[in-house]
Amino acid sequence: MATLPVYELANMDGVRVSSPQDEGALICFIKEDCPTCKEVMPVLDAFFAQYGEHMPVQVIGQTQEGNSALATAFSPAFSILDDSALQVSFAADIETVPTLLHTDANGNELTRLVGFVKDEWQTMASELDALTGQQSISLNWSGLPDWRPGCGSLSVDPANEPRLRAMAEGSPIRARRIDVGSQDDEFEFMFDQGFSDGLPLVPPTPERVMAMLAGTSRDAQEVLGEMAPNMGVVTVEKVAINSVMAGCKPEYLPVVLAATEAILTDDYNIHGVMATTMGASPVIVVNGPIRHRIGMNMGLGSLGQGNRANLTIGRALRLVVRNVGGAKPGETERSTLGNPMKLTMCFAEWEERNPWSPLHVERGFSKDESVVTVFTMSSGPTLIVDQDSRSASQLAGTLGQGLQAVMSPKAYGATDCLLVVVPEHVDTLMRDNYSKADLRQRIQEVSAQPLRELVADAKSGTGIKPEMAAQMDEATLNKLVSKFRSDDDIHIVVAGSEAGKFSGAFHGWVTGSVGSIPVSRKIEH
């Protein structure tokens, strides 16, 4: 047996009226644009006159302006209660208006009449007459239609139901609700509040957040960690809110969650990444079956615009860093020039076009697992153009020369890189069966320089300080130094169009324990 929810609603005079307590009642739900509701207004007025002295008779309207319209049109003796928030209608499980409820002293439903069926309403009147000891109700039943179906309740309208479900008891949403004034533009409001990265945001309404949370089976209040600099507590719900603002679909949420967990690690060092004046930023690479499932771009234009998954996943991560972690430009984020990757940079590896082990397999995962890897890069992608090399050794040499400029031609052993090899370049490398290890070794070989070439001079003040070089012997100065401290600092993935011999390179930041170490996380649903 259903029970009427406890409520307190304002009538048309602004007086708060409570749900009936300790006595039976007659409750009817209506809305003004329902023809059947208009048909039953005289019936409800007669019910109020006949039974109102013996039990509460309440009429609940679903739109505030509509209540006034009905009152003006019919001038009933009762004052319609305002349920424009629809929470009472939702809690009472009203699917159709009008719905007439007869309840007992405990609020339990005795009878529920849906729509208007004259015989049912007449039977209800006879039962109430007997219950209250009244003469038969004075009502011209013959002037009423035999049957009217009623209309859909606003509480089950798809435009309202998710919001009402989010607000109902047991909702996973716990974030502080921010009310926007009726005259405020919600998009401008979010700019003014500092939530935005400089581009418009999608308003994170309860229904949108609920829909986003449906993209994962994880508990909305699960704590992922604390994010510097403000040490904000990162929950699944907060990530979902920022994913809504970024424009994500619910099926993208598991990727954003995994990327968030990756940057919360000490290895990744998100505080250092966002605070450096160098302009470093997260770069997300996605591997595994989820790439296809959510429609990520790994081919033509994969590092650019045009794909919703790529762009919004990267943007969502940065909004989490901004709005939960508190890293904002001009405050703790001190990038000298800034970096367009601070808006977004996320793409998928084209594993099917990769003749080597894909990135996540290299990093210890199985091929059928979906994995996100987050790098820290200071610039890119920078094109390395080679349309002429016909051997793997030549092409790898070009790539090595291009990577020699990472940070500075004299910056050696200080950083890492992410090399995105395009399919046409892959084909050239595979003519000679080049492995990733071969490619890395060739890059290190071609970019190697004698230590003396890395000494600061009149051409450039960067590099080894002359006073330090003066303490070195000739053998040391002639020693070849590789561009990267380790072959493992050259990260290689495959992406891009089938046409075009233009590979891309992301230049790293400070690597290792003093800077940022790439982190991979399995994507959990």
pLDDT single digits (tens) 273-303 = 999 999 999 999 999 999 999 999 999 999 9
What pairing do the DSSP bridges indicate for beta strands 502-510 and 371-385? antiparallel
Asked if CATH classification 3.40.30.10 holds for the domain at 8-157, the reply, yes or no, is: yes
Q: Give me the helix-helix angle, 35-51 and 118-132, nearest 10°.
A: 10
Confidence class for position 418, pLDDT limits 50, 70, 90 = very high
Closest by CA position to 525, among listed 204, 235, 241, 257: 257
Residues 447, 483: contact at Cβ < 8 Å? yes
Q: How confident is the model at residue 1 (pLDDT cuts 50, 70, 90)?
A: low
> What are the residue ranges spanned by the domains of the chain?
8-157, 186-448+483-522
Instruction: Count each helix (H run) and each strand (E run) in the chain, helices first.
Output: 18, 22
Of the pLDDT bands very low, low, confident and very high (cuts 50, 70, 90), residue 175 is confident
In this prediction, residues 427-449 reach a mean pLDDT of 97
CA 58 to CA 48: how far, in whole Å?
8
pLDDT band at 164 (very low <50, low <70, confident <90, very high): confident
Euclidean distance between CA atoms 36 and 43, whole angstroms = 11
Rounded mean pLDDT, 25-38: 96
Can you give the pLDDT at residue 233? 94
Q: Among residues of the chain, what percentage have pLDDT more than 90?
A: 89
User: With 90 as the cut, is the pLDDT of residue 494 above it?
Assistant: yes
The backbone torsions φ and ψ at residue 212, rounded to the nearest 5 degrees and listed phi first, read -65, -45
Q: Any long-range contacts for 450-454 (C-beta under 8 Å, 24+ apart)?
A: 450/477, 450/478, 450/479, 450/480, 450/481, 451/476, 451/477, 451/478, 451/479, 451/480, 451/481, 452/477, 452/478, 453/410, 454/410, 454/412, 454/481
- As a three-state string, the secondary structure of 69-115 is HHHHHHCCCCCCEECCCCHHHHHCCCCEECEEEEECCCCEEEEEEEC
Distance separating alpha carbons of residues 428 and 421, to the nearest angstrom? 11
Question: Residue 336: which residues within 8 A CB-CB, separation 6 or more?
Answer: 277, 278, 279
The pLDDT of residue 170 is 65
| Angle at alpha carbon of residue 443, lines to 440 and 446, rounded to 5° | 150
CB 259 within 8 A of CB 375: no
Exposed/middle/buried for residue 85 (C-beta within 10 Å: 0-12, 13-18, 19+): middle
**Region 108-118 average pLDDT:** 96
Distance separating alpha carbons of residues 504 and 385, to the nearest angstrom: 9
What pLDDT score does 208 carry?
A: 93
pLDDT, tens digit, for every residue of 313-330? 999 999 999 999 999 998
Q: Return the amino acid letter for 176.
A: R
Mean pLDDT is lowest, of 24-38, 130-144, 316-330, 497-511, for: 130-144
Q: How many CB atoms are closer than 10 A to CB 475?
A: 8
d(CA 391, CA 409): 25
Q: Which is it for strands 346-348 and 281-287: parallel, antiparallel or unpaired? A: parallel
- Residue 3 pLDDT > 90: no
Max Cα–Cα distance, the chain, nearest Å: 119
* CB neighbour burial string for 495-513, b if at least 16 within 10 angstroms, e if fewer: bbeeeebbbbbbbbbbbee
What single-letter amino acid sits at 461?
Answer: G
Compute the average pLDDT of residues 135-161.
Answer: 92
Decide if pLDDT at 212 tops 80: yes
Whether pLDDT at 167 is above 80: no
What is the arithmetic mean of pLDDT over 73-95? Answer: 95
Cβ distance 112 to 4 under 8 Å?
A: no
10 Å Cβ neighbour count for 288? 24
Lowest mean pLDDT among 31-45, 92-106, 171-185, 251-265: 171-185
For range 454-465, the mean pLDDT: 92
Task: Quote the CA–CA distance of 328 and 321 in Å, as a whole number.
Answer: 8
Q: Which helix (H) or strand (E) holds 60?
A: strand 57-61
At residue 169, does pLDDT exceed 70?
no
pLDDT score at 383: 96
Give me the pLDDT at residue 34, please. 96
Residue 420: how many CB atoms within 10 A of its CB?
26
- Whole-number Cα distances in Å, 301 to 291, 340, 373: 15, 16, 20
How high is the mean pLDDT of the chain? 94
Neighbour count for residue 401 (Cβ, 10 Å): 15
Peptide bond into 76 cis (omega under 30): no
The confidence score (pLDDT) of residue 171 equals: 75
pLDDT of 37 higher than 90: yes
Please give the model's pTM, rounded to 2 decimal places.
0.74
Of the chain, the end-to-end C-alpha distance in Å amounts to 37
CA distance 320 to 375: 17
